[in-house]
């Protein structure tokens, strides 16, 4: 991945997605830097302890960099529902960027200038682009979403709704809990047996590879699935981590949008 910086806000990009014309994407960190060198938390998750005004300010700062006329957030519930954004901008109160929230853990749109926002702290954000049909998706895939194959369902929705060809999709799996830290001591109760082949010594699971394989099973060529390889729990200086810091930790953002 490559690092970018815009007015003190640093974000990561997948080279394979950067090479697609007409698409902007970025995965932000937990910090934004001020002109005097000090840093401020860039928590964009509501209900994680920070005052609402502070979170809204962080969202504004993040969205100023992400751009677009509308920001679409997902009401993430660790499920596998796919929400489609196909409307004109609905003005709600996240000025200067109007925003809307859709129910689902995956967002798909063909509408330009609509920034799809997924927030995570260990869960995967999975960005997808169909350069031919001009469709983008952003998926929230924690372990619960993974075992429901939310990424496969997202590809299926893109095929059915937008006639996307999975063969042409370009995908990126963002910083998230790596096989180094994804320990599931109760995996026999929590994880279906079909995924036990992804178990490593010590009850660790490789959810990065699960996502890769689910995308390949959905028809995406393996070489078109990039994995950041950055573990959130191993990088507490960059990312929020639910495992590392508990349920009260913040959320960082992954964003993708079609440019106008
Ligand atoms: Zn790790």
Q: Separation of 140 CA from ligand 1 center, angstroms?
A: 19
Burial class (CB in 10 A: 0-12, 13-18, 19+), 65: buried
Q: How far is the CA of 182 from the centre of ligand 1 (A)?
A: 7
**CA 178 to centroid of ligand 1, rounded, Å:** 5
- How many whole angstroms from 233 Cα to the centroid of ligand 1? 5
Ligand 1: centre distance to CA 179 (Å): 7
Ligand 1 geometric centre to CA of 2 (Å): 20
The mean pLDDT values, 10 residues at a time, for the chain of 260 residues are 96 98 98 93 89 93 93 92 81 63 95 95 98 98 97 98 98 98 97 98 97 98 98 97 93 95
Three-class secondary structure of residue 111 per DSSP? coil
Residue 72 — φ and ψ, nearest 5°? -110, 115
Beta strand extents in 56-130 (DSSP E only): 70-75, 82-85, 99-103, 106-109, 114-120, 124-130
| Gap from CA of 86 to ligand 1 centroid (Å) | 37
The backbone region for 100, taken as left when phi is positive above 0, alpha when psi lies in -120 to 50, beta otherwise, is beta
If you measure from the C-alpha of residue 180 to the centroid of ligand 1, how many angstroms do you get, rounded to a whole number? 4
Alpha carbon of 209 to ligand 1 centroid (Å): 14
For residue 94, the model assigns a pLDDT of 58
Residue 236 Cα to ligand 1 middle (Å)? 10
Query: Is residue 114 in some structural domain?
Result: yes
Residue 77: C-alpha distances to residues 12, 22, 71, 97 (Å): 25, 30, 19, 24
Query: Under 8 Å CB-to-CB from 229, ≥6 apart: which residues?
Result: 178, 208
The string over 229-258, giving b where at least 16 C-beta atoms fall within 10 Å of a residue's C-beta and e elsewhere, is ebbbbeeeebbbbbebeeeebbbbbbbbbb
Task: Give 244 Cα–ligand 1 centroid separation in angstroms.
Answer: 10
- Give the chain's domain count: 1
Look at residue 259 and tell me if it is in a domain. no
CA–centroid distance, 214 to ligand 1, in Å, is 22
Both tokens of 233, joined, read: 């729990």
Tell me what pLDDT residue 90 has. Answer: 56
11 Cα to the center of ligand 1, angstroms: 20
pLDDT at site 96:
56
Distance of CA 100 to the CA centre of its chain: 17
Distance 229 CA to ligand 1 centre (A): 10
Find out whether 30 and 240 touch, Cβ atoms under 8 Å: yes
Angle between helices 207-217 and 150-162 (to 10 degrees): 30
Q: How far is the CA of 176 from the centre of ligand 1 (A)?
A: 8
Dist. CA 246–CA 251, nearest whole Å:
12
Q: Which spans in the chain are helix H?
A: 15-18, 52-66, 143-147, 150-162, 187-190, 207-217, 242-245
- In-domain check, residue 260: no
Is 167 among the domain residues?
yes
Residue with tokens 């926002």: 117
Q: Contact at 8 Å (CB) between 154 and 205?
A: no
CA of 232 to the centre of ligand 1 (A): 6
| In a domain? residue 107 | yes
Residue-range definition of the domain harbouring residue 78: 2-254
CA of 41 to the centre of ligand 1 (A): 22
For the four alpha carbons of 196, 199, 204 and 206, in that order, the dihedral sign comes to: negative
The H helix count followed by the E strand count for the chain is: 7, 16
CATH number at residue 229: 3.60.140.10
- Cα(225) to ligand 1 centroid in Å equals 20
């Amino acid at each position: 991945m490559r690092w970018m910086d815009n007015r003190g806000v640093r974000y990561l990009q997948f080279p394979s997605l950067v090479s697609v014309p007409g698409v902007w994407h970025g995965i932000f960190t937990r910090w934004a830097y001020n002109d005097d060198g000090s840093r401020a938390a860039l928590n964009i998750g509501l209900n994680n302890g920070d005052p609402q005004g502070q979170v809204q300010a962080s969202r504004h700062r993040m969205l100023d960099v992400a751009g677009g006329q509308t920001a679409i957030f997902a009401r993430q519930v660790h499920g596998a529902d796919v929400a489609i954004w196909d409307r004109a901008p609905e003005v709600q109160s996240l000025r200067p960027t109007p925003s809307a929230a859709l129910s689902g853990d995956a967002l798909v749109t063909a509408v330009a200038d609509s920034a799809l926002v997924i927030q995570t702290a260990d869960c995967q954000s999975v960005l997808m682009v169909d350069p031919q049909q001009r469709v983008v998706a952003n998926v929230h895939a924690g372990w619960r979403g993974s075992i429901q194959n939310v990424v496969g369902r997202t590809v299926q929705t893109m095929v059915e709704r937008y006639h996307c060809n999975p063969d042409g999709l370009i995908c990126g799996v963002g910083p998230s809990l790596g096989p180094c830290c994804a320990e599931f001591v109760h995996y026999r109760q929590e994880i279906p047996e079909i995924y036990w082949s992804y178990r490593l010594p010590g009850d660790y699971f490789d959810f990065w590879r699960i996502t890769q394989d689910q995308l390949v099973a959905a028809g995406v060529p393996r070489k078109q699935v990039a994995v950041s390889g950055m573990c959130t729990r191993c990088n507490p200086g960059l990312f929020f981590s639910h495992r590392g810091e508990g349920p009260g930790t913040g959320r960082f953002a992954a964003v993708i949008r079609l440019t106008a």
